[in-house]
Amino acid sequence: AQRVTQPEKLLSVFKGAPVELKCNYSYSGSPELFWYVQYSRQRLQLLLRHISRESIKGFTADLNKGETSFHLKKPFAQEEDSAMYYCALSPPEGGKLIFGQGTELSVKP
């Protein structure tokens, strides 16, 4: 079955602390993995794509095929990082996205 699991509904950290948002997936094959972010009152937007291996806004995510995980990390959280974060996968040829349940990140001053 195709599934994305984000075990934490809410993650609350203090500014400057490290952050790790967990994501595990289930897919028979080699999917594409993504992280999307939704800031308050804004639309969903792409944060990271595993193939590009970029660091966006200080966030990185490494695909671990052995553990079927794609955790999102940032060494020093900022207040402006507070948002809903969704992990998602799509088939290797592209197309539909299957989303995890989302994790709300709250960064306190």
Partner 1 sequence: GAVVSQHPSRVICKSGTSVKIECRSLDFQATTMFWYRQFPKKSLMLMATSNEGSKATYEQGVEKDKFLINHASLTLSTLTVTSAHPEDSSFYICSASPRSWEQYFGPGTRLTVT
Query: Binding residues for partner 1, per CB under 8 A?
Result: 9, 32, 34, 43-46, 49, 86, 90, 93-102
Return the number of the residue (15 or 106) whose C-beta is nearest partner 1: 106
Tell me the closest approach of the beta carbon of residue 18 to partner 1, in angstroms. Answer: 25
Those residues with Cβ within 8 angstroms of residue 28's Cβ, 6 or more apart along the chain or in another chain: none
Nearest to 32 by CA among 43, 14, 20, 46: 46
If the CB atoms of residues 13 and 91 are measured against partner 1, the closer one turns out to be 91
The residue among 45 and 78 lying less far from partner 1, judged by its C-beta, is 45
CA dist 46 and 9 (Å) reads 19
Spatial separation of the C-alpha atoms in residues 64 and 93, rounded to whole Å: 20
Minimum CB–partner distance for residue 16 and partner 1 (Å):
27
